[in-house]
Every structure is written in structure tokens, then in C-alpha cells.
A and B are shown apart, each in its own frame.
Chain A
Amino acid sequence: MPTAIATRWVEACAADEIDEEDVIRFDEGGRTFAIYRSPDDAYFATDGLCTHEKVHLADGLVMDNIIECPKHNGRFDYTTGKAKGAPVCVDLKTYPVRVEDGKVLIGLD
């Protein structure tokens, strides 16, 4: 029987702190995350470091639903975490996000 893992909701930033089609870094409990705002004003969260060489994705470029790593131009779909081809081969972990009272909350395990 699978064990249910409680989600802990953590306030990451104010919703308007992120420009449309952009990303910011959020550090919590020794971990680093990337929080995205898509062109259609939806919010997403992934692990903050590229799975290729651990570079901060928050320094990268958001294009539609893609985040491009600033070091080697590796691309992920930040809505699903899917790696989109070399040099990134391992998917990004994603986290649930909700917006409440103008704050972006991410759900951590």
C-alpha cells in the first residue's frame, strides 16, 4: 500500500515578483528551486539546478513553456520537467504550485 506523503506548502515569493515569461530562484531548507511565470500567467516550480551540471536555472531563459540552462543551453519543459534533448538527458523534478492572496506557494514533500 503506497504511503501518502504530506505536502508542505511554503511561501516562495510574491506573485508579481516574477515577470511574465520569466523565472526566479527560491532557496529553502538548503535546497534551491526555480519558480516560473508562464506567458499565460500560470506559475510552476522545479528543482533549481540543471540536471546536467548543476547550474542555476534561474539565470536562464524562459521561452513559452521552456527553460533554457544558461551554461550549455540545455532545455526543459518546466511545466512537466521533461528534458528536451542533449545535453540534458535527465528530467527535472517539478513541484505543485498555488497562488493565494498574491503569494506563490510551492508544495514540498
Chain B
Amino acid sequence: MTAQDFSADYQKRDYSLVGFETQRAIERGLATAKWYRCPIGRKELKELMRRSDGPALRDTAIWFGALALSGFGGWYFWGSWASVPFFLVYGVLYGSASDSRWHECGHRTAFKTTWMNDVVYAIACFMILREPTVWRWSHTRHHTDTIIVGRDPEIAVPRPPDILGLILNIFALKSAWSLAKKLALHVQDKLDPEEATFIPEMERPKVFREARIMAAIFIGVAVWCVAIGSILPAMFIGLPSIYGGFMTIFFGLTQHAGLDEDVLDHRLNSRTIYMNPVFRFLYLNMNYHVEHHMFPMVPYHALPRLHEAIKDDCPTPYANCWEAYREIIPALLRQRREPGWYVKRQLPSHVAPLDVSAAGAAAAE
């Protein structure tokens, strides 16, 4: 891959959803635009999109089973150092594996059966400190306008990167603080102005109800801890999002960080990375991130097959996380100094990215 230096004419960008960049994105045809899709036959795509409960039932049973076993070990050895590895495993399963579970179930592609998606979605959202309805709509916008400045509420690393914030998020501290502020607002039946741009009026009572339920659970756990004079209950509910959240940012940064903004081609703003089976279980194959964004109706268990089908039309995938991070960390450090700089993904020589102006025109039609 190569890099381009746009720092000379770089202007500070406004990543909020209510600033000048929002209108600019609309005027440039970048909002709700037509995106590039790799060619794939309808029959093959239909086969890839086919839903099934089996893989997600298996993976959810393993997930809950491992949570129960590691949780039991943590409880059994509580008070000794022997509990640490058990809580480490429990924490990662709770505070990190939940990230991909809320995501897949939010798309309602993990299971074929709708209620199964919705139940696991609610549980996983709680674990990852995300309010279900807020994040359903936030993520909908992320898929409409992926890494479009002024439109996408889920740009993890706005430029210049907030390195301290990223470090704090290794233990979910920034996201926990953000949730606390949002919960405080939502329990009073209020939304912040940015949320109001993507959550429809009719969905807002649900947001407020869920905020009260979440807040009540956290308060209940805190009261329980005080009552028994131990943080043990919080080690199982609440704190694992903090002490076990480090794999969330480890996986999450690989998705888009350091790549281009305002392009209508997921091959240029997303990464596909080969990962080992343990990571792929924790992350539910979201390492195939270009594929997921381009064809979000393909369930996680079919993404490796989708990757095989379209890989000739995509940039070379990263061989592993190490290779990805050898690019991401220097890129983010450089963007601190040169916010206009980004990693330019190299498309196969026989294909060209979708022309932004043409796509904008198509979207406007």
C-alpha cells in the first residue's frame, strides 16, 4: 500500500453530526449514496445470505458455557490470585466478545430466528455498555454513510487521533464515561442533538425505557456490593466491561482506523484481516470487514466464503493482526502531526474505485 500526503491543504474537520460537515457531505452527494459493490451472481449471493440458527446456537452455547465456567472459577478462587486468570477469561468473553455479538444480532443475521437475535442483542448490548435502540440506529447510519465525516456517528478515530482517549479505551473508560453521560440524559427523557439526527421520534420512548432499565441494573449491583461489603457482584456484572474490554478496541481499531474518509468504496475505508480461529470466534468473523460492509446481509459464518468469492476484486488482505497494527499505529501517530494523511489501500490493477462525483449524482437522482 502507499500513502498520500494531503496535509498541505488539510482543513480541520468537524466530526459532529450537527456541524458544517453534515451539510457539506449532503451537498457532495456522500450521504445515503450509492456504494461500490464487487460483482457477484445473484444465485451465489443468495446462497451466501441464507440464514440458519445452527452456527449461532453453537457459538452462543460455547460463549455462555465458557462464561459460566470461567465465572465459576473466579467465584471459587475469589480472594486468591488463582481467581485472576478466570476473571481474565470471563472479562474478555463478557467485555469483548459481546462486541461482535451485539453487532451480528443487531443486523439480525446471526440467527435465522428473529427473537433469538433480539435476545442475544439485548444481553450483548448490556455487556458492551451500549443502549440497544440507540446503537441499532447509530449502526444503521454507520452502514449508510461509512466513515463519511459529518454523517457517521461511529468513526472510532477522528483525525487528529485522540491517543489518550484510545489508551483509556483499552479499559473502556472513555466509552463507559460516554455511556454514563448518555444514560443520565436518557433517563430524563432527553436525547443529545446528534442522537436526534438518527433516532426517529417513534423509537425514542424505547430509548428512555431501556436507559432506565440499564441504570437500575447498575444501581442494583452497586447496592448489592455495598450491602455485602464486596465488589464480587460487580466482578460479574458491570466491571467486566472495563477489565475485559481490551480486545474490543484491539479488534475494533483494525476496522477503519488510519484509512481514507469520504470515499464510497468499502475497499478503501475498511480492512479485511486474516485471524486465528480463537480471534475469529471472539470477533465472529468481523475481520472480514470489507465483505461485511459491502454485503451486510451475509451472516458471519458465511463471510469466509464471501471473501473467497470477491477477493480478486479487493485489496490484498492483511496476513494477521501484527501486519495490520504495523500499519495502524504509525498511521495514527503520523495523523497526530499530519491529520490529512491516510493509508491508501491498493486496489487490484484491473479495477477502479467508484467515482465519488458519479456516485453522488446517482444518489441524487
Contact = CB atoms under 8 A, between A and B. Distances in A.
Interface of A: 22, 53-54, 60-61, 63, 68-73, 75, 84, 86-87, 89
A71 B297 CA distance: 7
Interface of B: 32, 46, 49-51, 107-109, 112, 114, 133, 136-137, 140, 143-144, 200, 202-203, 295-297
B296 A53 contact: no
Contacts of A63: 51, 112
Contacts of A53: 32, 144
B108 A87 contact: no
A73 B51 contact: no
A62 to B, nearest CB: 9
Contacts of A54: 32
29 contacts: A22-B46, A53-B32, A53-B144, A54-B32, A60-B297, A61-B46, A61-B50, A61-B51, A63-B112, A68-B297, A69-B297, A70-B295, A70-B296, A71-B143, A71-B144, A71-B296, A72-B140, A72-B143, A73-B108, A73-B109, A73-B296, A73-B297, A75-B108, A84-B114, A86-B136, A86-B137, A87-B136, A89-B200, A89-B202
A53 B112 CA distance: 23
Given A75-B108, A89-B202, A61 B137 contact: no
Nearest to A66: B114
Contacts of B295: 70
A70 to B, nearest CB: 5
Contacts of B51: 61, 63
Contact of B137 (A22, A84, A87): A87
A87 B140 contact: yes
Nearest to A70: B297
A84 to B, nearest CB: 8
